[in-house]
Amino acid sequence: ATGLGNLADTEKFIHTFNRSKGGLIPPTSFTQSSHNTVSGQISLILKNHNYNITHVQQAFSFENALIDAKLQLSLVMQNVLVGASEERIPILENILDHLGADEKFKQTIGEGASFFHLSNKPSPVYLLCATILNNAVEEDSTIDDFLAKNNVNRSNTLVLSAQALKLDDLQSDIDVARFCGRYFTNNAFAVHLACSELLNGKYKNALVINPDHRNSIGLILLGAE
């Protein structure tokens, strides 16, 4: 999962294209700049020729990757490697200037990568559900309904907010942007942090909230044995 892909290689490709003045350029530059480069490199290193796909849906990329992973496990796969990665490069600040972002927001931009091994085998921490709810008018009522449908008590649930673009003060226990900054797939880091907290035994469940699209919300629910 990735929102913007390999930005450093994308910038390099654009510079190469501009310098060519419409001439021929090596196809390698374009190939290395595409969004699926990371997953492709992993498959080459592991010599793995199975199902391999990259989800690119901005801030909902990681939720879609998890949904896909659960689908693969329910069909034929026994093990799935699912993860997310994002880069921060200097030109991002120039782009944010053009978009009218203020200094406070620019200082919170981060980068990161998180990967997870999913399988149908028993585990101390497990994925209950990953979903994207559209037309979520009120966050609190939407979250309460979601937890109730999954028979989860909110009072015993660690709530983490993973906001890539918004600066809202959500009702959460942990704002992951304080640890890793804001980027399109920082909800993957939130899952990593949630797993660590669940292994400590203080909570039975963890909920990652991603409210980065208007009237839509991404939810990832984890449980602990």
Residue 217: helix, strand or coil by DSSP? strand
Locate 55 and state its tokens.
């989800």
Q: Which residues partner with 40 through β-bridges? A: none
Give residue 82's pLDDT: 97
201: left (phi over 0), alpha (psi -120 to 50) or beta: left
* Predicted model pTM: 0.89
Contact predicate 132/221, CB 8 Å: no
Residue 100 has pLDDT above 80, yes or no: no
Contact predicate 36/190, CB 8 Å: no
Give residue 73's pLDDT: 96
Q: How far apart are CA 139 and CA 28, in angstroms?
A: 45
Give residue 96's pLDDT: 79
Residue 167 has pLDDT above 70, yes or no: no
Locate 163 and state its tokens.
């906001």
Find the range with the poorest average confidence among 8-22, 34-48, 53-67, 203-217. 8-22
- Strands, DSSP E only, in 15-78? none
3-state SS track over the chain: CCCCCCHHHHHHHHHHHHHHCCCCCCHHHHHHHCCCHHHHHHHHHHCCCCCCCCCCCHHHHHHHHHHHHHHHHHHCCCEEEEEEEECCCCHHHHHHHHCCCCHHHHCCECCEEEEEEEECCCCCEEEEEEEEEECCCCHHHHHHHHHHHCCCCHHHEEEEECCCCCCCCCCCCEECHHHHCECCCHHHHHHHHHHHHHHCCCCCEEEEEEEEECCEEEEEEEEEC
**Mean pLDDT of the region 15-37:** 77
Residue 60 has pLDDT above 70, yes or no: yes
Q: How far apart are CA 198 and CA 51, in angstroms?
A: 30
